[in-house]
């Protein structure tokens, strides 16, 4: 994970946030 | 068929197209999927740039993961073993702490990690680490030939010469489409078999024609 380039952090953060939302709505 | 590193423009290389706003890129991907009649699981924009030698490569631009809503999360298919699931959850926990800037904790595992990491979620996550040389993989082929690549059906994906197509089939995808645009390639994937549609290709041309 420490090698994940900075440029991809935004995509990753968005994916994790939306995943959390999907969990809560499931 | 994919390179392992992401590319930074070399100072002596031709100037790449100006970077576009991450937010509008996300909105375009979301609009493409949410507005489609077909049930797409994810959309990725592979952005064209240059590596240190000046060679053209496609790297992660942005992605939108929708999932398989009709199937419901509890019914999402996964072929992974218990050990594989533990591995995926561990990676997600570490990524979560990387993003939040804190050490992995019990709280993290409660809200986002304890749930099963589905095969398509994992395929999407792993995609963030990939890039493609010009002509390599499905995205590279589409960009190099300036022509869409549409692979529908598990058999077609599984027998493809492209590693990404075969991986997609293993992770439950039945359709992968790569449509070239000016600055990169739009890839869509679905767990359903979706046949070629000119409507979708026209939408990509409108939404991802960045010079307009």
C-beta of residue B38 within 8 angstroms of C-beta of residue B62: no
Q: Is the pLDDT of residue B163 over 90?
A: yes
B34 vs A2, residue with greater confidence: B34
**Overall average pLDDT of the B177-206 stretch:** 93
B95 interaction partners in chain A (CB closer than 8 Å): 1, 4, 12, 16
Kindly report the average pLDDT of chain B as a whole number.
83
| Terminal CA-CA length for chain B | 32
Q: State residue B57's pLDDT score.
A: 92
In 3D space, the residue among B187, B173, B192, B188 whose CA is nearest the CA of residue B79 turns out to be: B173
**Overall average pLDDT of the B57-85 stretch:** 78
C-beta of residue B73 within 8 angstroms of C-beta of residue B54: no
Long-range contacts of B113-117 (CB under 8 A, 24+ apart): B113/B89, B114/B89, B115/A23, B115/A26, B115/B73, B116/B73, B116/B76, B116/B78, B116/B85, B117/B78, B117/B80, B117/B85, B117/B88, B117/B89, B117/B92
B6 interaction partners in chain A (CB closer than 8 Å): 5, 7-8
**Overall average pLDDT of the B127-133 stretch:** 92
Q: Is B60 on the interface with A (CB under 8 A)?
A: yes
Four-point Cα dihedral B120, A26, B109, B104, nearest 10: 70
Here the tokens at position B91 are 């990676």
């Amino acid at each position: 994970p420490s090698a994940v380039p900075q440029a991809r952090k935004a995509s990753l953060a968005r994916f994790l946030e939306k995943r959390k939302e999907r969990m809560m709505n499931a | 068929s994919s390179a392992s590193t992401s590319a930074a423009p070399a100072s002596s290389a031709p100037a790449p197209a100006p970077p576009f706003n991450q937010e509008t890129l996300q909105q375009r991907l979301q609009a493409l999927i949410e507005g489609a009649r077909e049930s797409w699981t994810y959309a990725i924009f592979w952005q064209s740039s240059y590596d240190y030698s000046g060679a053209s490569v496609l790297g992660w631009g942005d992605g939108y993961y929708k999932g398989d809503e009709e199937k419901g999360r509890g019914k999402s298919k996964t072929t992974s073993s218990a050990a594989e699931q533990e591995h995926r959850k561990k990676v997600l926990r570490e990524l979560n702490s990387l993003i939040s800037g804190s050490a992995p904790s019990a709280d993290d595992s409660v809200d986002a990690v304890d749930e099963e990491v589905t095969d398509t979620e994992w395929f999407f996550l792993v995609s963030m680490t990939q890039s493609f040389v010009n002509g390599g993989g499905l995205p590279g082929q589409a960009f190099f030939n300036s022509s869409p690549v549409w692979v529908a059906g598990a058999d077609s994906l599984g027998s493809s010469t492209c590693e990404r197509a075969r991986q997609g089939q293993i992770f439950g995808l039945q359709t992968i489409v790569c449509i070239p645009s000016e600055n990169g390639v739009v890839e869509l994937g679905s767990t359903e078999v979706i046949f070629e549609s000119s409507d979708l290709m026209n939408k990509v041309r409108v939404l991802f024609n960045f010079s307009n």
